[in-house]
């Protein structure tokens, strides 16, 4: 069973005949639950507002086409929107032509300004680094409207959090997987009963030469060969004199001058007995007592003559890798 199925879709407003086209990809993408109670109902705030006011029955699904990869689905969406000129097409709600494609998003971030307008900018944009521009989801939290079943990011100041009209999508739950790779959001107690393991266990988030990020198995040959590197490779999180935190290249001169200070200088990456990894203070009692151990505890370095890699004792070590590290010149 696939964890997700990327797809392109077209829906139509049955009252006025206007269409909306889009694509959905990533973990949780499932065309079978599209436009259903509790399922995905597009990322458009305009469409979500219409659904809140009129119900899901306002729209009918005109087309769904599935793809093997996220890139294929978004590039198809982009080609379609450009072909019909959705930005200027009064028969479509979209109002844009997707002037980007997935592989063009290297070093880009979606931000929101003080007027509430969202757009993409470079991660080195001074206004983004100074926090004048904030991440598009800043000040929001993923939740679900109990009445409509609509899932979205809602403002933390939305009074409906307090009244219970909005609840966290996966409150008290974490992402787990079974022996064949099916994924679930369940609480820790049920995960143990069902013999589920952390979804991220044995996997790592990586990036390619174009900056695209995705998750692969830790023994993926592309990761082992160095073709893919850790998503945060070459980056470090810092804070400025005002306490603002952000990520920059590890060789940024402002770190050397002391203008920016690494935020993790007194932190440690650890793992629990289930293999879940997270970052805590080195003074944390669980770390001191040994309840939590270093993330690389129990791992050893191997090399293939060119690169060094850590492996657990239980890992299958590729034949070309030998125990020990090589010195990099």
Q: Is 311 part of any domain?
A: no
Q: Give me the pLDDT at residue 1, please.
A: 32
Q: Is 261 part of any domain?
A: no
Q: Give me the pLDDT at residue 62, please.
A: 93
Return the higher-pLDDT residue of 283 and 152. 283
Q: How far apart are the first and last CA of the chain?
A: 45
Q: Give me the pLDDT at residue 252, please.
A: 85
Q: Are 271 and 297 in contact (CB under 8 A)?
A: yes
- Total-model pTM: 0.36
Q: Is 242 part of any domain?
A: no
Q: Are 80 and 23 in contact (CB under 8 A)?
A: no
Q: Which residue has 């696939």 as its token pair?
A: 2
Q: Sorting pLDDT into bands at 50, 70 and 90, what band is 230?
A: confident
- Tell me the pLDDT tens digit for each residue of 23-61: 988 656 888 889 998 888 998 888 999 999 999 999 999
Q: Give me the pLDDT at residue 117, please.
A: 61
| CA dist list (Å): 225 to 218, 220, 304 | 11, 9, 9
Cβ neighbours for 319, distance < 8 A, ≥ 6 positions apart: none
- Mean pLDDT in residue range 211-221: 78
Cβ neighbours for 67, distance < 8 A, ≥ 6 positions apart: 6, 7, 8, 25, 73, 76
| Number of domains present in the structure of the chain | 1
**151 pLDDT more than 70:** no
CATH number where 36 lies: 3.40.1440
- Tell me the pLDDT tens digit for each residue of 85-108: 998 999 999 988 886 544 445 566
Report the candidate in 19, 41, 262 with the shortest Cα–Cα distance to residue 145.
Answer: 41
Q: Give me the pLDDT at residue 113, please.
A: 72
Dihedral sign from CA coordinates of 26, 31, 37, 41: positive
Report the candidate in 55, 66, 49, 56 with the shortest Cα–Cα distance to residue 8.
Answer: 66
Dihedral sign from CA coordinates of 11, 150, 85, 83: negative
Mean pLDDT estimate for the chain: 81
Share of the chain above pLDDT 90, in %: 13
**121 pLDDT more than 50:** yes
Q: Is 147 part of any domain?
A: no
Backbone angles phi, psi at 184, to 5 degrees: -145, 155
Q: Is 70 part of any domain?
A: yes
Identify the domain containing residue 78 by its residue range: 7-102
Report the candidate in 154, 114, 4 with the shortest Cα–Cα distance to residue 69.
Answer: 4
Q: Are 77 and 102 in contact (CB under 8 A)?
A: no
Q: Is 49 part of any domain?
A: yes
How would you write the chain as a 3-class SS string? CCCCCCEEEEEEECCCCCEEEEEECCCCCCHHHCCCCCCCCCCCHHHHHHHHHHCHHHEEEEEEEECCCHHHHHHHHHHHHHHHCCCCCCCECCCCCCCCCHHHCCCEEEEECCCCCEEEEECCCHHHHCCCCEECCCCEEEEEECCCCCEEEEECCCCHHHHCCEEECCCCCEEEECCCCCEEEECHHHHHHCCCEECCCCEEEEECCCCCEEEEECCCHHHHHCCCEECCCCEEEEECCCCCEEEEECCCHHHHHCCCEECCCCEEEEECCCCCEEEEECCCHHHHHCCCEECCCCEEEEECCCCEEEEECCCCCCCCCEECCCCCC
Q: Sorting pLDDT into bands at 50, 70 and 90, what band is 202?
A: confident
Q: Is 79 part of any domain?
A: yes
- Tell me the pLDDT tens digit for each residue of 284-313: 888 889 889 888 888 888 888 888 888 887
Q: Is 212 part of any domain?
A: no
Bridge partners of 11, per DSSP, are 20, 61
């Amino acid at each position: 069973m696939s964890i997700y199925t990327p797809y392109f879709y077209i829906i139509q407003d049955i009252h006025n005949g206007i269409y909306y086209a889009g694509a959905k990809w990533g973990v949780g993408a499932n065309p079978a639950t599209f436009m259903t109670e509790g399922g995905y109902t597009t990322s458009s705030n305009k469409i979500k507002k219409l659904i809140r006011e009129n119900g899901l029955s306002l729209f009918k699904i005109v087309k769904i086409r599935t793809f093997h990869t996220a890139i294929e689905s978004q590039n198809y969406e982009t080609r379609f929107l450009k072909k019909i000129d959705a930005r200027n097409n009064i028969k479509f709600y979209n109002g844009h032509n997707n002037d980007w494609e997935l592989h063009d998003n290297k070093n880009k971030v979606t931000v929101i300004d003080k007027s509430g307008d969202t757009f993409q900018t470079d991660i080195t944009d001074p206004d983004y680094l100074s926090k004048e521009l904030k991440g598009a989801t800043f000040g929001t939290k993923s939740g679900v409207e109990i009445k409509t079943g609509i899932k979205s990011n809602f403002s933390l100041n939305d009074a409906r959090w307090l009244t219970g009209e909005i609840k966290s999508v996966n409150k008290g739950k974490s992402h787990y997987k079974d022996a064949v790779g099916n994924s679930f959001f369940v609480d820790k107690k049920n995960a143990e009963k069902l013999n589920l393991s952390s979804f991220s266990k044995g996997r790592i988030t990586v990036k390619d030469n174009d900056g695209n990020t995705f998750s692969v198995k830790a023994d993926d040959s592309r990761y082992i060969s160095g073709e893919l590197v850790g998503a945060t490779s070459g980056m470090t999180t810092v804070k400025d004199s005002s306490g603002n935190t952000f990520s920059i290249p590890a060789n940024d001169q402002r770190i050397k001058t002391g203008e920016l200070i690494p935020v993790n200088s007194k932190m440690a990456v650890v793992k629990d007995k289930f293999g879940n990894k997270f970052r805590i203070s080195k003074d944390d009692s669980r770390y001191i007592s040994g309840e939590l151990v270093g993330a690389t505890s129990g791992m050893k370095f191997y090399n293939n003559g060119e690169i060094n890699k850590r492996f657990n004792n239980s890992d299958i070590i590729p034949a070309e890798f030998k125990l020990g590290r090589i010195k990099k010149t």
